[in-house]
Amino acid sequence: MKPFHLMLMILSTYIFFYHVNHLVSLWPDIPYEIGIHYSDGQPDQLGSKSFLLVMPMISLLFWILMQMVVRRPDKLNYVYVTEKNKQLQYRKA
């Protein structure tokens, strides 16, 4: 793995865990019902505070999915791939 990619992976992992840790530390102070949709600055739809866990779960799911896709660049959709430029296209992916 290239040093730049390793640095990005470490940075993104740190940021993810920082936000999850922050959410967990504030969990007791968050009201049971929170506004999940707003119109004119007023909540017009309420939801459970567990709804706050949806975004970290989605981001973790996308991260795992992207890691799986990157490991198999030959399965991605390319335009004008030939035997001559195949390795260059896979490296760019």
Domain ranges in the chain are 3-92
SS3 2: coil
Task: Give the phi and the psi of residue 45 in degrees, each rounded to 5.
Answer: -150, 130
Q: Within the chain, what is the greatest distance between any pair of CA atoms?
A: 59
80 pLDDT exceeds 90? no
Q: How far is CA 58 from the centre of its chain?
A: 6
Binning pLDDT at 50, 70 and 90, where does residue 1 land? low
Name residue, tokens 């920082």.
18
Q: What is the pLDDT of residues 32-75, one digit of tens each?
A: 999 999 999 999 999 999 999 999 999 999 988 888 877 776 67
